[in-house]
Amino acid sequence: MKYIRRANERGRVDLGWLQSNHSFSFGHYYDPKHMGVSELRVINEDRVAGGTGFDTHGHRDMEIISVVLSGALKHKDSRGNEFVVKAGDVQRMSAGSGIMHSEYNASQSEEAHFLQIWIQPKFRGITPSYEQMTIAQTGALTPLVTPNGKGDTLSINQDATLSRVVLEQGQQLDIGVASGTGYFHIISGSVYTEQGDFQSGDAFATDAEERVTLHATDHLVALWFELPS
């Protein structure tokens, strides 16, 4: 493994209404050792209190993915999209040449818990676009986002694939990439590997042709990124 990121070492933000853990440098949290992996620039684990959220703000030339873990988000943008993104949904917004949007907790009382992911685009200045989908788990490894949006996946303006990993206790899975970089981020649960044990919020990156065998020590939910070099 060329990079290991432990949950308890992430950047921490407490704004009262927002509790967030930053895997990579973001906003007021800066650490030159943790600027991202390949084209993966942001993984923020956000917990947003009921009745609050992110006011209208702008983005440009970034692929932004939201994976809602519990609760729901209300999305509204300058392209006329207005949707509720509920738990289990995956949302992709290509900011492209520029877009304004807001994200609020759709509930006035219940917390919304989600992962906000930014991936740098392959092509800059494209027309902004938006997709949202509920994607059922179809096995241990289920693609969520792919370069061309093949099958039941969202598309992305980058040579990258994002998949969800679900393993029951005692199950195992081999992961790796033939070229480029792999990145594994645990949402919940734990695994052991020959390179060490990993818990909820932990992550690691792999080199091309490196294989890692995951052994689930309890119910595991994780994300697996296949990224360019």
pLDDT (mean) for 83-99: 96
In this predicted model, what pLDDT tens digit does every residue of 174-196 receive, in sequence order? 999 999 999 999 999 999 999 99
Residue 183 to residues 68, 105, 212, Cα–Cα distance (Å): 19, 28, 11
d(CA 224, CA 218) in angstroms, rounded, equals 18
φ/ψ (deg, to 5) at 173 = -150, 135
The per-residue pLDDT for 6 is 98
Q: Is the dihedral of CA 179, 44, 54, 152 positive or negative?
A: positive
The per-residue pLDDT for 197 is 97
d(CA 3, CA 50) in angstroms, rounded, equals 35
φ/ψ (deg, to 5) at 175 = -125, 155
Q: Which pair of structure tokens corresponds to residue 47?
A: 């917990």
Mean pLDDT of the chain: 97
Residue with tokens 């620039």: 41
pLDDT (mean) for 108-128: 98
Report residue 130's pLDDT band, with 50, 70 and 90 as the boundaries.
Answer: very high
The per-residue pLDDT for 229 is 86
State pTM to two decimals.
0.96
In this predicted model, what pLDDT tens digit does every residue of 194-228 receive, in sequence order? 999 999 999 999 999 999 999 999 999 999 999 99
Length of the chain: 229
User: Domain map of the chain by residue range?
Assistant: 7-227
pLDDT (mean) for 102-115: 97
pLDDT (mean) for 117-125: 98
Q: What's the topology of domain 7-227? A: Jelly Rolls (2.60.120)
pLDDT (mean) for 42-51: 98
Nearest CA to 37 out of 180, 191, 162, 201 is that of: 180
Q: DSSP secondary structure string, 75-142?
A: EEETTS-EEEEETTEEEEEE-TT-EEEEEEES-SSS-EEEEEEEE--SSSSPPPEEEEEE----SSEE
pLDDT (mean) for 119-130: 97
Report residue 15's pLDDT band, with 50, 70 and 90 as the boundaries.
Answer: very high
In this predicted model, what pLDDT tens digit does every residue of 52-81 receive, in sequence order? 999 999 999 999 999 999 999 999 999 999
